[in-house]
Chains A and B, each alone.
Chain A
Amino acid sequence: MRTTSKIASVALGSAVLLPFLGAGVAQAADGSTMATLRPVALNGVKGSGTAMVTVNGTRIDVTMAANGLLPDAPHAAHIHFGADARHECPVAGDDAKGDGTINTTDGGPAYGPIVVSLTKTGDTSPKSGLAVDRFDTAPGGKINYERGSINVSSGVAQAITEGKAVVVVHGVDHNNDGKYDGTTKSDLDPSLPTEATDPAICGVLNAAPAGGMDTGAGGTSTPNNEGMLLLGGGLLMAAVGTGAFTARKARNRV
């Protein structure tokens, strides 16, 4: 009888545990990632920012803040990833044409193609990469962007958690005239000047720290003090004993 109920409770216990174990395995790659966005080499932007991407299976939540961008102009923003890319932000050496700036073609070998378009509304696929009417226009040069539940492929989700995806915000006012212009056309869309699509700030999404921190060697810890208190107390008790013995001896002498 007792055995039966034991078996039953073990079986019940496993049944209850199993779904949790399953969930644990499925979410093994989930996590929080961050990118510190810094000016792209050669493009002379003074801006910066932070992007945070939380991965839940094949769903991602994104928040991003940036400043120092060209105000009141659309800033295309993407998550880039390419299996063959270097998974980093472009460097001066990526300026293939030697024209002194980094354009989208120059950025390719560093961060790969667009995998997510960080639009404010609607589609977030690479197809919306230049949907200029749906990107943040950086009022005052600032972007405050928040968008949850963006669906991505499992490959992209994995690239993000493995530190291989790169966040890029585009739009550089090279000639400082307050708008996107100039005779050089964009590599991505010849109807736009290259200023509108050149990468401005960039950062690799890296896993945030996980778990606690070992920040103590125990020199002031409680167990030490308890030990000290116990030992000290014990010695004092012993002193009472030997003291009594001394007193008795002294009395005997009289």
Chain B
Amino acid sequence: MSDITKSGGRRGSIAAAVTVVLLVVGGFLVAKSFSGTDAPPQPDAAQSAPSVTPAPSSSPPSPTSSPTSATGKTAAPSTADFGPIMGPSAPVSLKIPSIGVDTKGIVDLGLDKSGKLQAPTDFGRAGWYANGPTPGEFGPAVIGAHVDSKSGPAVFYRLGSLKKGATVSVARKDGSTARFVVDRVARYSKADFPTMTVYGDTKGRAELRLITCGGAFDQSTGHYVDNIVAFAHLTS
């Protein structure tokens, strides 16, 4: 009788210990899955639609800038009306206050053999396409950065939560700052990436593209299946 009670008691205390371990480990994992290592935010449909922006113009429309202006200094009809444009100067740092991005030491990026833009080797740095226009010049300047490393969030972890109208400022080597406003943020499948939309002609505006990864992570390739792209244009 006492033997049975004893062995029963021992089994009971082992079970109690196991219960505690299971509770602690299980609880930790559940908490961790809901905590700091949340999946990166993804843009919603409302952010991917183009915002209604006025036609490119170097100054706000005003009665005096109408084609019938009496000054006689109106441009020839075939001269396109481009927006503000800066001279060339490489980017050195990037600030996006609304999503807490403040990154220095922007590195040069090139293309790989297939023509794809290479990612920065350093998860803590953003990079720019150094053969393209510099941020502020006419055309699409491109800045890319990782969403995460193997262990946690990286520079563009929160890019997917960027909203239309947010400001982005790029400090440049010549001491000037190019200020952009976000037009839209979209997610595209890498398998069906809209190359022309992202890297093609910007029709008269100095624009900026911010690129990181999004969607599901494919364990077999070690890459995310989508890209998140923020489109912005120069305001000053």
Contacts and interface: CB of A to CB of B under 8 A. Distances in A.
Interface stretch (A124-132, A149-157, A176-184, A215-223): A215-223
Contact of A139 (B75, B139, B145, B157): B75
Contacts of B177: none
Contacts of A85: none
A128 B219 CA distance: 57
A145 B75 CA distance: 12
Given A34-B139, A54-B201, A242-B18, A216 B146 contact: yes
Contacts of B140: 208
Nearest to B193: A212
B217 A223 contact: yes
A250 B226 CA distance: 54
Interface string B143-187: 011111111111011000000000000000000000000000000
A85 B102 CA distance: 44
A250 B5 CA distance: 10
Contact of B133 (A50, A222, A225): A50
Interface stretch (A62-70, A76-84, A97-105, A190-198): A62-70
Interface residues of A, number: 64
Contacts of A226: 33
B145 A144 contact: no
Contacts of A253: 5, 8-9, 12
A212 B154 CA distance: 18
B52 interface: no
Contact of B87 (A32, A68, A219): A68
Contacts of B204: 63, 65, 144, 146
A246 interface: yes
Contacts of B117: 209, 213
Interface stretch (B36-44, B62-70, B91-99): B36-44
B78 interface: yes
Nearest to B203: A63
B223 A214 contact: yes
A222 B31 CA distance: 15
A252 B199 CA distance: 73
A121 B79 CA distance: 11
A210 B114 contact: yes
Given A68-B87, A211-B195, A233-B30, A219 B148 contact: yes
A233 B26 contact: yes
Interface string B204-226: 10000001110011010011101
A228 to B, nearest CB: 4
Interface in B49-76: 75-76
A96 interface: no
7 contacts: A65-B137, A209-B116, A210-B195, A211-B115, A214-B190, A215-B144, A232-B27
Interface of B: 5, 8-9, 11-13, 15-16, 18-19, 22-23, 25-34, 37-40, 75-76, 78-82, 85, 87-88, 111, 114-119, 123, 129, 131-134, 137-140, 142, 144-154, 156-157, 188, 190, 193, 195-196, 199-204, 211-213, 216-217, 219, 222-224, 226-227
Counting from the closest, the 4 A-B pairs by CB-CB distance are A232-B29, A235-B26, A249-B12, A221-B217
